[in-house]
Chains A and B, each alone.
Chain A
Amino acid sequence: MAPLPRLMLSSPQPRSAMSNAEAQTLTPENGNGISTLAQVRRVIICAGTGCIANGAMKVFEQFKSEIAGAGLQVILELRAEATSDEIRLSKSGCQGFCQMGPLVSVVPDGILYTKVRSEDVAEIVHQTLANGQVVERLLYKDPATRKSCQGIEDNPFYARQSRFVLHECGFLDPEDIREFMLHGGYRAARKAFVEMLPEEICKTILDSGLRGRGGGGFPTGRKWEAARIQNSPKKYIICNGDEGDPGAFMNRSVMEGNPHSVIEGMMIAARAIGSNEMLVYVRAEYPLAVERMRGAVAAAEREGILGKNVFGTGLSMKCEVMEGAGAFVCGEETAMIASIEGQRGMPRPKPPFPAQSGLWGKPTIINNVETLAHVSRIINEGPEVFRSIGTPDSPGTKTFALTGHVSNTGLVEVPFGTTLREIVYNIGGGVTDDAGKIWKSGFKAVQIGGPSGGCLTEDHLDLPLAYESLRSVGAMVGSGGLVAMNQGTCMVSIARFFMEFTQRESCGKCVLCREGTRQLLALLDDVIEGRADQNTLDLLEKLGRAVQVGSLCGLGKTAPNPVLSTMRYFRKEYEEHVFEKRCRTGRCKALLRPEINAVKCKGCGLCIKACPTRAITGEKKQPHHINPELCIKCGACATACKIHAVEGI
């Protein structure tokens, strides 16, 4: 094994001593460093929010002691000279398969263990690390074929994805900047600062066709160019990490798993528009992402990547991380600016666009985390490579958070143009029932784009997912939340769920958004609680359209989408609620009419005992009866009845 020339990565030298020239040697031009590293045996433990919740840190500690106990040498830091009996133990960011966590991978063996407990560690160390054998019982089993999958190559969840932004999240130690640099990190930033002119960078990004991943889909290059041509000595770059869309967590994963890729993207953007101040606005609900971003900024400062003399160009660059305070509307550009300025997060009319007049009245670019994470690759590989993936209008890949009633929930990165069927059935492993078992004919809908998006039905399973195609069917890419729903889900309740969310999060500035969402919610309650008639349905549609037209920002303009979209595709279900006072899924409690089947009932009296309101009467061994006036529809009788004679609840 050829050690890396003169690369003492674990050397205790003061880091500030490392000049920019050395920083360059850290980035291997020919992939030398990568191949050297790959030969070191590594155990990577996923340390994303999901896996930590399931005990990943305990597993990590257990590995440390077990490996040492087995007479093998553990190394926790990157080193150039490694010997063959050394094992590098590291944490990675979120690998996206949260439901199966904690995840442990062994490379280069190509093994992925799932649901690893600290009790399992000894077995992994002795079988796999010491003897090169696979621990069968910890492998992932494909629920469809019941076959064990050894690594990510034969695991359908991973194998069918195209992971670019997420690729390094599952591999690099997010807390180790040198590992990032050794894998080519900050090479694109260096190129942008040393070899490229700002207009060249803007043109490259424009040519790549990169569009905002936060939902709007505005061409990133055009946005940058608009800020670049502004004649202002002060400009700002803001990274939008305020991922408020319930059911989406791709930005959290990138910030936790590869924070340096976000900083690198921001630096390139800063160079492109001529800015020297950057700010990352992270949602306060993501404490780990805040911590990792702050750590990454500090590390970049120590390495001299951020600071007074960036890559020897004499340009300065600083970056701050700010925590949000819990307001969904702050994901909107102008509201976010207000929040950073210490105000209530309320949007203002555009124009002027932030690229002309943003933070403190200066030209400001706000880009989504995922957008920024794409940038370095485009600079490194050229716009053509990026364009060759995806569709002509929507190039590149998009990360979706696939959740809800599917077998494999997690983060999924696919090229634009991939069909919903591929994502739900092949990557997601199919639709499940409430207990998590595969339900072959269970597919009902997919909600895409969160509170701003819409529903896709069985008819859309073969629709290629891209910005325009989704807009044409009344949905949108949004931030990329994909919630699969089975036949047991009531679509009116889902519409109400989103309406309650937007109603609560409306900032109150525009009357139609503030009052309109409240009235829409009240109308949906009428439908769900059995007070609605034809007028309610007409009013819902009319008011929905009015809120879309009469609101200033994206929150209000898109707030009625979930209602309008479910009314469009699940009209029959609304009509059942309104005219038949019936919810086919039984989720709407007010519409339930529990009855005791007189033929089945044996008159045992168990339900009488269970009923908290004494609504059930009947003689022993005679069929019992529920008094609808007293019944509170709690379902206690149905649970108590052993022969399932209580129906309609």
Chain B
Amino acid sequence: MASTPVVVDRAEKFEKVVSILDRHSRRPSGLIPILQAIQHEYQYLPEEVLTYVATSLDVPPARVFGVATFYAHFALEPKGKHVIRICDGTACHVKQSLPVLNALREKLGTSEKSTTTADMLFTIETVACLGACGLAPVVVIDEQVYGQITPERAVALVDEIKAMEASLGTASAADAEQPSAEECHE
């Protein structure tokens, strides 16, 4: 799949960025909340949007990219439709979160380097701690928290999502392949 499969109406794309910038009064000090709002909108930070933000705030693009690459929450690559986050905090780690991670990676064919599946359906991430240590080990799939998870149950959850997607996607398979297009148009 090409890196930019999404044809987005450019004017529309920047319209949202403009309204986000306006909401933060175009102050460079508001860079982090601005990037958070943009990522909320697009699910990631597209390169051309970052350049646009730099111009609008009258700061060098290096400053914007510097911030965007510093913080773990900012993604410069599009993420899959479903984001699976595996907690690898201390409590989860000693309660065997790694076997869960490995089982999911094996199931979806992802690795530490390539975290998103080729069909753009899943992204697997690890996070340092979700603060739900009492339920260790914890997995979060699309904001839903699952506690005391086992590799088998994690794989079963992925199967459920896959089955749901298959029933949705038979009508228009192309939709599932281009989730970011949908989200940009929303």
Chain A residues within 8 Å of B, Cβ to Cβ: 49-50, 52-54, 96-99, 101, 243-249, 252, 283-287, 322-328, 339-345, 401, 403-405, 409-410, 434, 447, 450, 481, 483, 485, 489, 494, 497-498, 501, 505, 507
Contacts and interface: CB of A to CB of B under 8 A. Distances in A.
A247 B36 CA distance: 25
Interface in B119-173: 127-136, 138, 143-147
B157 to A, nearest CB: 13
A329 to B, nearest CB: 9
19 contacts: A246-B128, A247-B91, A248-B129, A248-B133, A252-B131, A285-B127, A285-B130, A322-B33, A326-B71, A342-B30, A342-B31, A342-B32, A344-B67, A401-B91, A401-B133, A403-B133, A404-B91, A404-B94, A498-B90
A362 to B, nearest CB: 13
A285 B135 contact: no
Nearest to B143: A287
B70 A345 contact: yes
Given A246-B129, A403-B133, A501-B128, A284 B91 contact: no
B147 A325 contact: no
A325 B35 contact: yes
B50 to A, nearest CB: 14
B66 A50 contact: no
Interface residues of B, number: 40
Contacts of B91: 246-247, 401, 403-404, 409, 483
B29 interface: yes
A483 B132 CA distance: 13
A342 B68 CA distance: 11
Contact of A325 (B73, B132, B138): B73
A447 B135 contact: no
Contacts of B94: 404-405, 483, 485, 489, 494
Contact of B133 (A247, A323, A405, A447): A247
Interface string B59-99: 00000001100111110000000000000111101111000
Contacts of A404: 90-91, 94-95, 136
Nearest to A488: B94
Q: Top 5 closest A-B pairs, CB basis?
A: A98-B134, A247-B90, A246-B89, A53-B145, A326-B72
Interface string B16-35: 00000000000111111101
A49 B145 contact: yes
A494 B89 CA distance: 11
A246 B147 contact: no
Contacts of B88: 246
Contacts of B129: 244-249, 285
A50 B90 contact: no
A248 to B, nearest CB: 7
Given A53-B135, A247-B133, A285-B130, A342 B145 contact: no
Contacts of B136: 403-404, 409
A53 B132 contact: yes
A249 B143 CA distance: 18
B14 to A, nearest CB: 21
Contacts of B147: 50, 53-54
Contacts of A52: 145
B131 A286 contact: yes
Q: Which of A326, A328, A405, A489 has most B Cβ within 10 Å? A: A326
Given A52-B145, A344-B70, 14 more contacts: A97-B134, A98-B132, A98-B134, A244-B129, A246-B89, A284-B73, A323-B36, A325-B36, A325-B71, A326-B74, A344-B67, A403-B90, A450-B90, A501-B128
A331 to B, nearest CB: 12
Contacts of B131: 49, 243, 248-249, 252, 283, 285-286
B129 to A, nearest CB: 4
Contacts of A434: 95-96
Nearest to B146: A53
Interface string B29-64: 111110110000000000000000000000000000
Given A342-B67, A409-B91, A483-B91, A99 B134 contact: yes
Contacts of B93: 246, 497
A388 B55 CA distance: 58
Q: Which of B71, B94, B138 has most A Cβ within 10 Å? A: B94
Contacts of A50: 132, 134-135, 147
A280 to B, nearest CB: 14
A494 B35 CA distance: 35
Contacts of A287: 143
B135 A339 contact: no
A450 B129 CA distance: 11
Contacts of A323: 33, 36
A409 B90 contact: no
Q: Which of B35, B129, B131, B135 has most A Cβ within 10 Å? A: B131
Nearest to B59: A342
Contacts of A339: 32
A327 B69 CA distance: 11
Contacts of A326: 71-74
